[in-house]
C-alpha cells in the first residue's frame, strides 16, 4: 500500500506547539515541587510545635573590585582606503598584485601597453632634434650678419659707405637676432613636449602611491578590479588598497551613553571569530551629531592589528568601562529587593536558632551582571553586613525583619557562590 505523501514542513507547527507545551508542563511541575517543599517544611514545624520556617536560597557578601561596563555592536573598517588608478589609458599587460597582498608606497603594481606612448616620445625627440639643428643654423647666420653689420658701421664712420647700406645690414642683424630667439623658444617648447611624452610613457608603470603625510607603512590589497588584457581609461580603478593597522571599529552610541565617552578612553574589543581573545582599543572620535532616524551618534575606536587577525567587515562587540570601584561591598545581583519603595537586602543572623533574617536598607551602586555593589546608609545595622555574611537570593516574598528561615540545600548554595 502506498504511503501517504506529506508536504515538507507539514508537522513543523504541531511539533513546535508540542515542545512548548512540554516546557510549560516542566515549569509548572518545578513550581509545584517548590511549593510542596515549603508546605512540608511548614507542616513539619507546626507538627513539632515550632515556628514555621521560610525556605530560602542564599549567597555570600563579598568585597571585590567591580566595574560598570557598556557593550556596543559595530563593524571593523580600514583606517584609510583608496583606489589605485592609472594616469593614462591603455591595455593591462601585467597585474603584479592580488587580493590579500601587501604593497609599499611607490611599489609597481601593474604595467600597461606603452607602444603608443613610446612612439609619442620618439616623435617628440625627433622634433626636438630638428629644432636644435635649426637653432644652430640661425645662430651661425646671426654671427655672419653681425660681422657684416659691424664692418659696415666702421666704414660708415669713415664716410666710405652710404647710410642706406648700413640701415639694410642693421635690419638684417635685428631679423637674425629674432630668428635665433624664435628657434630657442621652439627648442624649449619641444623639450617640454618630449618631457611630457616621457612622463606619459612612465605612467604605463602603475605604482601604489598615497600622500606622504599618511605614512609609509604597508597597505593591504583588498580588491582587484581589473585583469590582464583589460582596457582601462585614465582614473579607472585597478585595485583597492587599505591601511589595516590600526583598524577602525565603528559603533552607534545612544544619547544616554554619549556624554560618558570621550576620545582617548581605553576599551576592549572582541570578534565572533575569536570570542576568547580581547583586543585593546582606544576611542578615537565621536560624531558631532546624531542620526535623526536611529537617534544614535557614530563612535570610532582604533585597534592595533599588527598580526593581521582582524579583517575588514568583521562584526565586533566593544566593551567600555564607564565607572569602577575597588574593594567594593557587593552581593549577588539577585539579593536586593524592594520594601516600601526602598531597596533592601535580607542578611542571615547566624546567632539565632533557628536562623533569622535582618532587613538592611541599602543604596545600589555599580552592577556588572553577576554582582551588585551596595552602599549602606549611616543608620543601617552594618554589623550584619560584612564580607562572608550570607544574604538571601531567593524567597524574598516570604520575608520581613526577624523572619525565621531554613536553607534547604546549603551545600549547593555555597558551591554556587564559589563559582561566581
- Which of the residue ranges 13-17, 19-23, 160-164, 286-290 would you say has the lowest mean pLDDT? 13-17
Q: Domain check: are 345 and 412 in the same one?
A: yes
Q: Domain check: are 375 and 360 in the same one?
A: yes
Residue 313 has what pLDDT?
A: 92
Question: Model confidence over 118-154: pLDDT tens digits?
Answer: 999 999 999 999 999 999 999 999 999 989 888 888 8
Confidence of residue 35 (pLDDT cuts 50, 70, 90): very low
Q: Supply the CATH number for residue 283's domain.
A: 2.40.30.170
Please give the Cα distance from 389 to 59 (Å, whole number): 8
Q: Domain check: are 214 and 109 in the same one?
A: yes
Decide which of 261, 290, 324 is a domain's last residue: 324
**Residue 130 falls inside a structural domain:** yes
The three cell numbers locating residue 260: 560618558
- State CA 16 to chain mean position distance: 41
Please give the Cα distance from 115 to 67 (Å, whole number): 68
SS3 of the chain: helix, strand, coil, percent, to 5:
35, 35, 30
Instruction: Give DSSP secondary structure letters for 239-286.
Output: EEEEEEEEEEEEEEEEHHHHTT--TT-EEEEEETTEEEEEEEEEEEEE
**Residue 12 falls inside a structural domain:** no
Average pLDDT over every residue of 395-419:
73
**Residue 16 falls inside a structural domain:** no
Range of the domain at 376: 47-66+325-419
Q: What is the 3-state secondary structure (H, E, C) of 153-170?
A: HHHHHCCCCCHHHHHHHH
Q: Domain check: are 334 and 281 in the same one?
A: no
Residue 380 has what pLDDT?
A: 58
**Residue 184 falls inside a structural domain:** yes
Q: Domain check: are 149 and 189 in the same one?
A: yes
Confidence of residue 167 (pLDDT cuts 50, 70, 90): confident
Residue 410 has what pLDDT?
A: 54
Q: Domain check: are 214 and 318 in the same one?
A: no
Q: Supply the CATH number for residue 332's domain.
A: 2.40.420.20
Q: Domain check: are 329 and 405 in the same one?
A: yes
Q: Domain check: are 99 and 233 in the same one?
A: yes
**Residue 278 falls inside a structural domain:** yes
Q: Domain check: are 195 and 268 in the same one?
A: no
Whether residue 127 contacts residue 190, with contact meaning beta carbons closer than 8 Å, is answered with yes
Phi (first) and psi of residue 164, to 5 degrees = -65, -45
Q: Kindly state the helix (H) or strand (E) to which residue 62 belongs, with its residue range.
A: strand 62-84
Q: Domain check: are 185 and 213 in the same one?
A: no
Decide which of 283, 303, 324 is a domain's last residue: 324
Q: Is the pLDDT of residue 241 over 90?
A: yes
Q: Domain check: are 127 and 187 in the same one?
A: yes
**Residue 38 falls inside a structural domain:** no
Question: Model confidence over 54-71: pLDDT tens digits?
Answer: 899 999 999 999 998 889
Q: Supply the CATH number for residue 102's domain.
A: 2.40.50.100
Q: How many distinct structural domains can be found in the chain?
A: 4
Instruction: Between 389 and 44, name the one with better pLDDT.
Output: 389
Q: Domain check: are 213 and 103 in the same one?
A: yes
In sequence order, what are the residues at sequence separation of 6 or more whose Cβ sits closer than 8 angstroms to the Cβ of residue 45? 51, 52, 53
User: Which residues in 319-357 are b (16+ Cβ under 10 Å) and which e?
Assistant: ebeeeebeebbbbbbebbbeeeeebbbbbbbeeeeebbb
Count Cα neighbours of 1 within 13 Å in the Cβ-side half-sphere.
Answer: 2
Amino acid at each position: 500500500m502506498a504511503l501517504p505523501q506529506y508536504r515538507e514542513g507539514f508537522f513543523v507547527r504541531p511539533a513546535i506547539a508540542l515542545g512548548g507545551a512540554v516546557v510549560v508542563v516542566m515549569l509548572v511541575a518545578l513550581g509545584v515541587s517548590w511549593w510542596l517543599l515549603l508546605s512540608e517544611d511548614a507542616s513539619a514545624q507546626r507538627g513539632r510545635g515550632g515556628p514555621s520556617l521560610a525556605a530560602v536560597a542564599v549567597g555570600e557578601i563579598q568585597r571585590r573590585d567591580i566595574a560598570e561596563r557598556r557593550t556596543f555592536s559595530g563593524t571593523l573598517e580600514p583606517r584609510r582606503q583608496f583606489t589605485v588608478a592609472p594616469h593614462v589609458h591603455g591595455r593591462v599587460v601585467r597585474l603584479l598584485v592580488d587580493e590579500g597582498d601587501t604593497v609599499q608606497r611607490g611599489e609597481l603594481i601593474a604595467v600597461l601597453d606603452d607602444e603608443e606612448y613610446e612612439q609619442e616620445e620618439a616623435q617628440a625627440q625627433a622634433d626636438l632634434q630638428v629644432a636644435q639643428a635649426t637653432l644652430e643654423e640661425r645662430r651661425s647666420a646671426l654671427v655672419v650678419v653681425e660681422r657684416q653689420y659691424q664692418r659696415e658701421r666702421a666704414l660708415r664712420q669713415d664716410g666710405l659707405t652710404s647710410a642706406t647700406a648700413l640701415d639694410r645690414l642693421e635690419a638684417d642683424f635685428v631679423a637674425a637676432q629674432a630668428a635665433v630667439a624664435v628657434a630657442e623658444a621652439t627648442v624649449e617648447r619641444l623639450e617640454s613636449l618630449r618631457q611630457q611624452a616621457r612622463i606619459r610613457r612612465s605612467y604605463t608603470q602603475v605604482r601604489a602611491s598615497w600622500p606622504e603625510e599618511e605614512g609609509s607603512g604597508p597597505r593591504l590589497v583588498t580588491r582587484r578590479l581589473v585583469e590582464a588584457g583589460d582596457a582601462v581609461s585614465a582614473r579607472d580603478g585597478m585595485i583597492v588598497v587599505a591601511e589595516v593597522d590600526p583598524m577602525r571599529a565603528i559603533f552607534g552610541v545612544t544619547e544616554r551613553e554619549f556624554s560618558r565617552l570621550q576620545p582617548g578612553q581605553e576599551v576592549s574589543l572582541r570578534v565572533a571569530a575569536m570570542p576568547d581573545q580581547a583586543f585593546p582599543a582606544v576611542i578615537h572620535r565621536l560624531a558631532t551629531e546624531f542620526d535623526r532616524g536611529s537617534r544614535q551618534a557614530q563612535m570610532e575606536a582604533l585597534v592595533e592589528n599588527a598580526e593581521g587577525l582582524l579583517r575588514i567587515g568583521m562584526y565586533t562587540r566593544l566593551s567600555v568601562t564607564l565607572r569602577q570601584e575597588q574593594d567594593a561591598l557587593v552581593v549577588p545581583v539577585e539579593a536586593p529587593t524592594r520594601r516600601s519603595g526602598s531597596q533592601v537586602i535580607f542578611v542571615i543572623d547566624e546567632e539565632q536558632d533557628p536562623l533569622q533574617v535582618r532587613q538592611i536598607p541599602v543604596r545600589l551602586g555599580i552592577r556588572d551582571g553577576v554582582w551588585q555593589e551596595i552602599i549602606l546608609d549611616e543608620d543601617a545595622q552594618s554589623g550584619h553586613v560584612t564580607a562572608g555574611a550570607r544574604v538571601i537570593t531567593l524567597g524574598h516574598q516570604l520575608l520581613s525583619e526577624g523572619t525565621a528561615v531554613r536553607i534547604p540545600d546549603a551545600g549547593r548554595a555555597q558551591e554556587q557562590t564559589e563559582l561566581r
